A = this chain, B = another copy of it.
Amino acid sequence: MTTTATTLKGQPLEKPVLDALLRRRMFYTPSFEIYNGVGGLYDYGPPGCALQTNIVDLWRKHFVLEEDMLEVDCTVLTPHEVLKTSGHVDKFADWMCKDPKNGDILRADHFVESVLEARLNGNKEARGQKVDEKDDPKKKKKKAKSEAVVLDDAVVAEYEEVLARIDNYDGPQLGELIKKYQLKNPDTGEMPSEPVQFNLMFQTSIGPSSNMRGYLRPETAQGQFLNFAKLLAFNQGQMPFASASIGKSYRNEISPRAGLLRVREFLMAEIEHFVDPQGGKKHSRFHEVEKVELVFLDRETQLSGKTETRKLAVGGAVKEGLVDNETLGYFLARIHLFLQKIGVDLTKMRFRQHMQNEMAHYACDCWDAELLTTSGWVECVGCADRSAYDLSVHAKKTGAPLVVRERLDEPITTTVWQVDIEKKKFGPQFKKDAKAVEDALLATTQEQRESMSRQLADTGKTTLEVAGVADGKVDIKSDSVKIEFRDKVENTKEYTPNVIEPSFGIGRILYALIEHNFWTRASDGGDEARGVLSFPPTVAPTKVLLVPLSSNPQFKPVVKKLSQTLRRLGVSSRVDDSSASIGKRYSRNDELGTPLGVTVDFQTLRDGTMTLRDRDSTTQVRAAEDKILLAIQSLVDGTKDWAAITSELPKFEGQEA
C-alpha cells in the first residue's frame, strides 16, 4: 500500500519502521500473544500506558476541572433492558456474511465496497489510467486485489453510484448487490452467504441463575443518562451542566484491523453536556473560543463527492449556520485546543460533518475530529448532538422524571382549555375507576377539550375513551366536570434537556499522536536512521533520562539523589545505567519520546555540574544541579522552551557519541 503520509520533518512516514519501533519499545503489543493473540485486543506496555495516563490526565484537567464537570464512574456491565431502551439491542449492529468455502466472516458493506473498488481500479489499470489511492474517510475497506479488466462506461457509473451510497444499504440490499454483480471473495473465489445482522455488543449473564442477560457497554454515555436526576440534584438544580466519564467500552467488531484503530476493547472519555433546547443552545463561555480557527469538511461538500476543507473561526462558523449552535461550536473549539495541547499536528486535523444517513441512531447532528494517519483520516473524537433522545426513552420506559423543572423569572400566562373536576361527585360516579378516568381526562388534548366542552354545554354530557374501564368508554357529566377556556399562569417550566456529547477514543488519539510525532534522524555513524518520538513534555511517558557516564560506582549516589529530587518535584524520570554507550542510551530514549536527558560524568563529581540534553535538537547545556532542575521544571510545565534554556545556560559539546 503506497502512502503519502509524511513525518513532522517532511520525511516519508515509513509505517514498517514505526511499527518496529513501537514493538521494540513495547508501546503496545497484541494481547495474549503467547497464546497466538486475539484479534482486536491490545495491551499497552510501560511507555504506551504512561502516554495513555498522561493524555487522560490532561483531558481531565482540560475538560473536567476547567469546567467543573461532574465526573462519574459507572459500570461496564449493563442489563439488557437498559440497552434495549437505548436502541442498542436493535440498532447497534453490522451486517455480515460468510464465505461458504473457508468460513471467513465478512462485513457486508466492506466486502461490497472493496470488490467494486477493486474492479474500478482494474478498469483504470486496463485503460492505462493512474490508480489513485483516494483517501477514505471511513477507512472501512479491506483491500481486494484488482485485476486489469476493462469495464463499460455505464458499469463504471453504476459502481460509482453504489459506492457513493454504500452507507445507505441495509443487509438485504447488500445481499442483492452481491448477487447482481456476482461479487466474490477474492480469497476463495466464492460468493458469500446472504447478509445477517450481527449485534456488536458482547453479551454475558449476570448472577448465578443465568437469567439476567447483560452486555458490556458500547459507550459510557448510558450510565450518565441514567444518573441524570441525581447529577442535577448534586449540581443543586442548576443548568446547564456536564457530566463526564472515562472508562472502557466494548464493541465486538466483525473484523478488527491490526493496530489500535479498530479494536474490541477501548478506553473512552465522554462528556454529556445537558442544555435547555430553548434559546438556541447558547454557551456562556463561547466568547472565549470564538476566534479559534478550525478546519471544516461539511456535509454539502461531501455530498458533492469532494473533500475540500475550509478554515474558519468557530464564531463565524456558528454565525453562518455551518455549525448549528454555540454549545456545539464551543466544544469543537475545546476539542481542537485539547488536541493541540497534547501535540497533535494541526495540519493533519479536520472536523468532518456526518452525512445524514451515517449518524448513530440517537444523533441529530455530528462532527468528527479526524486525524490524518497512514491509514487515512481517522475519526478520533465525535461531537454529536443527541438531542433529548436518550433521556426521553429512558424516562418513558421507567417513569423516572429525567427532566428539569425551573422556576421562571417571569410567570407565563396562556389561555387554554382547562379541566376542573368536582371530586365529591366524580368519585362516587366512577368508584374504583375514578383515578383512571381522571388520568384520561387530564391527558386530553386542547382540541378534544374544546369539543368536549361544547358537548357538555349542549347535552350535559360527553364520552371519553378510557382504556380498561367498562367497554373502553365512559360518560362524563357536566355536574362533576367543567371544561373552560381561561388564563393559566405558569411559574415553572419543565423540559427534557438536550445533550451535546463530545466523545473521545483515547486509543485512536494515542496512535495518531504517535504518528504525528514520529520522525527519523540520520545517525552520526552512518548507520540506519534512528527513530525519534517528539512528544511534548506534558504527555511524554517519561520526562527525564538520567545517565551516568559509565558504570563507575561513584556515579550511583549522585544519580540516586537526582532521581529522588525529581520524584519529589513530580517529574517522572528513569535511570539508564546499562553498559551501552551514552549515544545508544540516548537513542533508545529518543525512541521512547523522553524529551530531556541528564548526564552525570566525572566533572559532576568535581564541581556538581551536569549536562542537560534536548531530545529534538540533541544540543546540550551544562550547569549546576539547581539550575538544571529549574530548567527541567520550566520545560516540563511548559513555561519555557529549549531556545530559552540555551540562551540562559552555557552550551555543552561533549561526551555524546
Contacts and interface: CB of A to CB of B under 8 A. Distances in A.
22 contacts: A25-B234, A26-B233, A32-B78, A32-B82, A34-B402, A35-B79, A35-B398, A39-B207, A42-B75, A43-B74, A43-B223, A44-B73, A45-B227, A46-B70, A50-B71, A65-B567, A66-B567, A76-B265, A105-B207, A202-B204, A207-B254, A247-B248
Interface in A216-269: 216, 223, 226-227, 229-231, 233-234, 236, 247-248, 250, 252, 254, 264-265
A227 B43 contact: yes
A96 B45 CA distance: 39
Q: What are the 4 tightest A-B residue pairs by CB atom distance, in nearest-first order? A: A34-B400, A44-B73, A43-B74, A46-B70
Contacts of A126: none
A322 interface: no
Nearest to A29: B230
Given A230-B45, A394-B34, A250 B77 contact: yes
Interface residues of A, number: 78
Interface in A9-65: 25-26, 29, 31-35, 38-39, 41-46, 48-50, 52-53, 60, 65
- Copies of chain A in the complex: 2
A191 to B, nearest CB: 19
A365 B231 CA distance: 45
B234 A216 contact: no
Interface string A555-589: 00000000000010000101110100000000000
A249 to B, nearest CB: 11
Contact of A77 (B49, B50, B202, B402): B202
A633 to B, nearest CB: 13
A72 interface: yes
Nearest to A79: B38
B226 A77 contact: no
A266 to B, nearest CB: 10
B252 A206 contact: yes
B31 A212 contact: no
Given A38-B214, A49-B73, A207-B252, 12 more contacts: A25-B234, A29-B227, A34-B229, A34-B402, A35-B226, A38-B77, A45-B227, A68-B574, A77-B202, A105-B209, A203-B204, A208-B254
Contacts of A216: 204, 216
Contacts of A208: 96, 105, 198, 252, 254
Given A202-B77, A248-B248, A394-B34, A209 B45 contact: no
